[in-house]
Structure 1
């Protein structure tokens, strides 16, 4: 009898969905934008360097996270009014996921590259709706800083698409993303809500952006696999910095909500 009770408790604990705060929800939904680009980047890298197991593991991990994030967002009561918006993301994901987990080839990479844009657009629209639902200044900061995570990975994705000759416009998109990333970083830097920790992270990210731009402008003497390693490594550091900043903004929002609810 006791064994049965223990097994039942373990079952319910394992299947219990942790409720998302509004700050967590905007952060999580924002990560979906980034993951759509990182999955595509990882797929292309797997094709360029098939001997590197790290990119295959990275790909599977990102696909798994995207799916679990979808499930978590669907269970959030506050987002019930946005069910249709999330359904749009799910439908696009249903087409995207099999390609991402399928055989890697140049043709498949070009297909995934193409599909990554509408998936990103739908995910971004959902984040925007969540921001409006939250209706606070810190919600906008979570959205903007979260989008920076995505841009870091789309920059890398577009460089890899250019390198592997998947799309003729990839280089133009890359420089457009670099300009947007720099502009929005300046916007975040001006926020009155920034703490010392947030400002320190923003300044570090500015330095990494300048370093990555050198590679795209040809100022580095590196080429081929070595340049790919440096650029993807630097954009990953930019991603981690912005992820931490986004979490800090999410904490600010949740703190504001707690004060209001008292």
Structure 2
């Protein structure tokens, strides 16, 4: 019997480091370009989570939407830790800590059973978070002092807009709102203008231009879905917005590497 408990104890000692490692894992200190890229990703995730929450409530690929919420929450939390570790000036520290405080409420609401009223509340918080993150990205772009900084920020904003468009469309299906309709219309104009800005940059490489071609193609598909020309518009908006996000994510990463 004594030997049995000794064996259990030794196994526990062996497993203990494995349990501690994730808790003690160090955050990543981000380069200026990576910080701008990460903040752009945070902006996108606020919109993506609301979009997926709405899709659950509307019954649009609900299982996929649930997985997207879970994955987005994990990604946001990890990136928030990295941003907290990387912020060095008082303004940046205050901005990231504000995000952290808002995130606690947002994350909790996003994991509740989908309800229209909760979706509105989530969207209100997301609006504040993504706006504040956008202002922080602008200040970091100025501090970076390289033309690539602007490209990283705009490409990151394009990621956010791909999800913002899909979110606005889904939310309108749940409860029509002039504000949401205006938000969708403005986001479409901003996305189209953003593609032009990125395309005309002298900093582009053959790889980034190829990615921009792919983005343009996916953008046409998303615009068609948003116009209601497709018979299954809700599903098409959901899937096409994800494909466009994937393309823009790769482009954002390419611009980040150019800025290093």
Assess same fold via TM > 0.5: yes
Determine the C-alpha separation between the residues in 1 that align with 2:214 and 2:115: 36
Contact preservation (8 Å) 2:215, 2:244: yes
Partner of 1:230: 236
* 2:161 is the alignment partner of 1:158: no
Moved over 4 A (4+): 3-14, 77-81
Equivalent position to 2:92, from 82, 106, 109? 82
Determine the C-alpha separation between the residues in 2 that align with 1:167 and 1:110: 11
Contact preservation (8 Å) 1:27, 1:250: yes
Deviation for aligned residue 1:10: 8.4
RMSD: 2.3
Deviation for aligned residue 1:80: 6.1
* 2:192 is the alignment partner of 1:186: no
Equivalent position to 1:215, from 218, 225, 242? 225
Which region of structure 1 is more displaced relative to structure 2, 111-120 or 40-49?
Answer: 111-120
Contact preservation (8 Å) 1:25, 1:73: yes
Residues 117-156 of structure 1: per-residue CA shift (max 9 Å, x gap): 1111111122222212211110111001000000000000
Alpha carbons of structure 1 residues 152 and 194: separation in structure 2 relative to 1, 3 Å: same
Determine the C-alpha separation between the residues in 1 that align with 2:214 and 2:246: 11
Deviation for aligned residue 1:95: 2.4
Partner of 2:153: 143
Contact preservation (8 Å) 1:30, 1:123: yes
Aligned pairs (5 A) from 1:1-262: 11=20, 15-49=25-59, 52-76=62-86, 78=88, 82-165=92-175, 167-220=177-230, 222=231, 226-254=232-260
Alpha carbons of structure 1 residues 185 and 102: separation in structure 2 relative to 1, 3 Å: same
Which region of structure 1 is more displaced relative to structure 2, 36-45 or 73-82?
Answer: 73-82
Deviation for aligned residue 1:40: 0.3
Deviation for aligned residue 1:216: 2.3
TM-score normalized by the length of structure 2: 0.87
Determine the C-alpha separation between the residues in 2 that align with 1:157 and 1:214: 16
Structure 2's unaligned 5+ residue stretches are 1-9
Alpha carbons of structure 1 residues 53 and 110: separation in structure 2 relative to 1, 3 Å: same
Residues 190-241 of structure 1: per-residue CA shift (max 9 Å, x gap): 0111111111111221122122212222333x1xxx3211111111111111
Contact preservation (8 Å) 2:27, 2:85: yes
Aligned residues: 249
* Structure showing greater Rg: 2
Structure 1's unaligned 5+ residue stretches are 255-262
